[in-house]
Amino acid sequence: MNEKASVSKELEAKHAKILEGLLKLPENRECADCRSKAPRWASVNLGVFICLQCSGIHRSLGVHISKVRSTTLDTWLPEQVAFMQSMGNERSNYYWEAELPPNFDKRGNQTFIRAKYEEKRWVSKNRAYPTPELGGMSIYCDSIVNGPKSYVPKKIRNFSLEEEILTKHATPIVAKARGNSFDLKDHTIASAPPRGPSLTKESETSTTNTNRSLDLVQCVQDANNDCSTVIPAPWATFD
């Protein structure tokens, strides 16, 4: 069965809205190869948005290198839309154009594109091939259920794998340390002292409530002990 036939008209309309939103991102407003404005085509396996002229060159590379789809004319599968959401021109070019000289002349589009994707001429050996961001499919599902959201432009470069791991583990620590003092020498988090009369009053109230709770527990324990040592009445014995 053709996978495209399983895409309903309703789902296809939602895909169109998601793609329209992706094309409005600053990094996707220009062709990933020639930088011409308002691209309307995409390479679904490279994760880039391209113009009409460059899409023809991508087709000539073969589907083993680039699979071209129109953002407005073709039917998209869910995994293709999810992949485009997690990639985009900036993330992809971070790998393919890592060592591209500044102000490089791209007027010979076909020569440039073949050198970029076939020969991998400007790929850095120190950068791994970009993989989809974690949660790409969950972002897609959220877009389908709740509609595409307005994206916040990224003003910084994409993180390396090491930076992503560091950020993942450091963020909970930073969030936990907000409002507290963090001692780097012994790696312990100390609560900040209360400031102002209102906080002092709340602290005293909390201490009083705690003492009352402890007194209540002690009272119950004492009552249990007293019950265990009560001498039974004479009539309660069967002597």
- Domains of the chain plus CATH, in order, are 9-118 (1.10.220.150)
Which pTM value belongs to this model? 0.58
Q: Is the Cα dihedral 214, 220, 222, 225 positive or negative?
A: negative
Is the per-residue pLDDT at 202 higher than 80? Answer: no
SS (H, E, C) 53-106: HHHHHHHHHCCCCCCEEECCCCCCCHHHHHHHHHCCHHHHHHHHCCCCCCCCCC
Answer for the pair 123, 98: CB distance below 8 angstroms, yes or no. Answer: yes
The pLDDT tens digits for 133-157 are 555 555 666 666 666 655 444 443 4
pLDDT of residue 139: 63
Is the per-residue pLDDT at 117 higher than 50? Answer: yes
Is the per-residue pLDDT at 167 higher than 50? Answer: yes
